[in-house]
Amino acid sequence: MGNTPLRKVGIALGAALILIWCLLPVAWIISLSFKSQESITNGSPGFFPSEGGFAGWDNYVAAWDNEQFRRAIFNSIGISLIATLLSVIVATLAAYAIARLEFRGKKLVLSTALAIAMFPVVSLVGPLFDMWRAIGLYDTWPGLIIPYMSFTLPLAIWTLAAFFREIPWEMEQAAQVDGATSWQAFRKVIVPLAAPGVFTAAILTFFFAWNDFVFGISLTSTEAARPIPASLSFFVGSDPFNRPASLLAAGAVIATLPIIVIVLAFQRKIVAGLTSGAVKG
């Protein structure tokens, strides 16, 4: 590997390009959220607000003051967290069984799970809408949690099964010899060791639930269950013919914050290679 300085510059340049590519839209939304409504209507193409077009925190305050928006945030957080929690619990148990036990139909379970994950979301919306209205799940939290779970479970199961397979059998056997029941061995040894996998699955599930728009807008009708992405599309402001772009941008930024917080919180858990040192190094 000669000319290392050149390589370093190349890597830095590449990283910068990718960062700009990914973050420019985000930066632009943040920029929009600080511009006043008038300056946008009049045309304000620059990244920084034009003279007199700076709105400060006004847009954020206005968005937050909106009762509908606050309800939507509450719905989104609640629905996403419950869907994530349930999905991770079910997936952990299912993945453990798939990784450790030999049973008939194991292949079938795995391939069915994969098939479900590939199913187009849109094709399910119509039937679900009909069913949910008949059952009474329409416009309720469970009405969204159930489809979210069914779409995130397959991925979570596949991710976790891979993690469980990595954990040496001996860990469990040692625990059993030490006096643990199968359940204790699972809970005290296997789950902690699979923690990176559990958190990965949790984040993936949370993203899916948080970002979903199609189910959110089709299976809800009021603030009772409407999540943020759907709610933002109902953001009309005072003038129905002129969508308040800066207000929307502020709402979008607020909607992004929980995701960032969760990723930062879970990141360290995911990175840690927990199995190191389990067996001979």
Residues near other proteins (CB under 8 A): 168, 170-171, 173-181, 184, 188-189, 192-193, 195, 274-281
CB of 90 to other proteins, least distance (A): 23
* Residue 110 vs 171, nearer CB to other proteins: 171
Whichever of 130 and 178 has its CB closer to other proteins, that residue is 178
Beta carbon of residue 179, minimum distance to other proteins (angstroms, whole number): 4
Q: In this structure, are residues 206 and 258 in contact, taking their beta carbons and an 8 Å threshold?
A: no
* Token pair of 201 as six digits: 């699955």
- Type of residue found at 3: N
**Nearer Cβ to other proteins (189/248):** 189
- Closer to other proteins by CB, 170 or 239: give it: 170
Residues 6 or more apart whose CB falls under 8 angstroms from that of 19 comprise none
C-beta closer to other proteins: residue 222 or 276: 276
Nearer to other proteins, 117 or 191 (CB): 191
Measured CA to CA, the distance from residue 214 to residue 156 in angstroms comes to: 21
Tokens found for residue 270: 């995911």
What's the CA gap between 78 and 76, in Å, rounded? Answer: 5
Concatenating the DSSP letter of every residue in 184-201 gives HHIIIIIHHHTHHHHHHH
Q: C-alpha 21: how far from its chain's center? A: 21
The letter for the amino acid at 124 is: L
How far apart are CB 203 and other proteins at their closest, in Å? Answer: 20
H or E stretch at 128: helix 121-135
Q: What whole-number distance in Å separates Cα of residue 122 and Cα of residue 111?
A: 21
Min. distance of Cβ 236 from other proteins in angstroms?
51
Distance CA 87, CA 153 (A): 6
Q: Nearest approach, Cβ of 273 to other proteins (angstroms)?
A: 9
Residue 199 CB, nearest approach to other proteins (Å): 14
